[in-house]
Amino acid sequence: MSDARTQWGAFWVLARARVAETARERAAVAFLFGFPALLLVSLALVFAEGHPYERRAVALDCASPAVVRALANESDSLTLYPMPARDGRRALDEARAELLIVCADRSRVELRHGPRGALTAEGVQRRLDRAGVSSTLRRVSIPKRAYARGLLPGAIAFGALFAGLYGLGMPMLRLRRRRVLARLSLTPLRPLTLVLSVLSARAALTVGQSLALLAVSAALFQWIPSVFAALAVSVAVLVGVLAFAGIGFLLATVVANEETHGDLLAASATPLVLLSGAFFPVQEMPSWLAAVAKTLPSTALVDACRAALDPTAQTLAAPLGILILWATVTLALALRRFELHAS
């Protein structure tokens, strides 16, 4: 009998048992799938008109130097994001931008806005008038509860962040305390097989959670993601779970029990969440803090989820690369350091 066959058989039994364990618990299923959806819907209703503290963002599809010069003076109150008109329209629909400026040519500058961006559009129009650029206002319809689309990447990312942080190190500590790891070390089971089974089950459940959120978003917010977006989100969540599971597992190597591990995870999660770019834009942070934030796996995960849902906004490869690096280093170190048998 081959070792690979043995390991695969054990992996399959263990992974399936862990998924079944969650499926058997009604409360666990409700929290796993229902709570994030409920939270998303609630926040979408609370911020139905967009986030009140969001800085005024303008999508700009315009190469006209006169327009750019005129708006440059507004940079203290507006943030310009150059992008094609199609992507700009999506930014409007997702309440990520208040205004879309489209220049067909120098004589035809159009300021497209929804209800929330009317004042901003009028201010920009006055600025352009003073610069000698004529423009027209065009009010466009924006989907209701559009901000849900802006919240969705963060909701998916944080689901993966916490699933990873708590999903591997803590179960391994519990199994060690109960001497299950010591017992299994007397069998042909390899530690890597056990770790992969725990990870796979957790990742599968979290990917399911993310797809459920996409389904809720499609049903309630008329935002139907493409198959590519759903696949990209699944990949981002999978890699995100691996990266945070590695961090949680690595922290489990420096503590003796689950209680202390929980304290460490809580302490680690706070800066990871706050600096992730989901609450405060990374580009608005002091430069040194922004530099730190850009290297964090939480920032990479939020960016990866955003990129997965909106491929035109940013590339998926860079944040995925950061996550893969974190996953590789932390999991490798944790596997080397974790003691199966508490001394």
Binding site residues, other proteins, CB under 8 A: 1, 5-6, 9-10, 12-14, 16-18, 20-22, 24-25, 171, 174-175, 177-180, 182-183, 185-189, 341, 343
- DSSP state, residue 54: P
* Closest approach of other proteins to the CB of residue 45, in Å: 35
Instruction: Report DSSP state, residue 226.
Output: -
Residue 253 C-beta: closest distance to other proteins, Å: 18
Closest to other proteins by CB, 55 vs 178, is 178
Residue closer to other proteins, measured from CB, 126 or 177: 177
Q: Which is nearer to other proteins, 57 or 201 (CB)?
A: 201
User: Least separation, in Å, of the C-beta of 5 and other proteins?
Assistant: 6
Cα gap 329→297, rounded to integer Å:
12
Nearer to other proteins by Cβ, of 130 and 177: the residue is 177
Smallest gap from Cβ 175 to other proteins, in A, equals 7
Among 236, 225, 242, 211, CA closest to 301:
236
With CA atoms as reference, report the closest residue to 215 among 27, 26, 34.
34
Q: What angle do CA 15, 18, 20 make, to 5 degrees?
A: 110
What lies within 8 Å, CB to CB, of 121 at 6+ separation is 98, 99, 111, 113, 137
**In terms of CB distance, is 21 or 122 closer to other proteins?**
21
- Integer Cα distance of 243 and 240 in angstroms: 5
Burial of residue 91 (number of CB atoms within 10 Å: 0-12, 13-18, 19+): buried
180 or 333: whose CB is closer to other proteins? 180
CB of 57 to other proteins, least distance (A): 46
Residue 165: CB minimum distance to other proteins, A? 18
Beta-carbon contacts of residue 337 (< 8 Å; ≥ 6 apart)? 250, 253
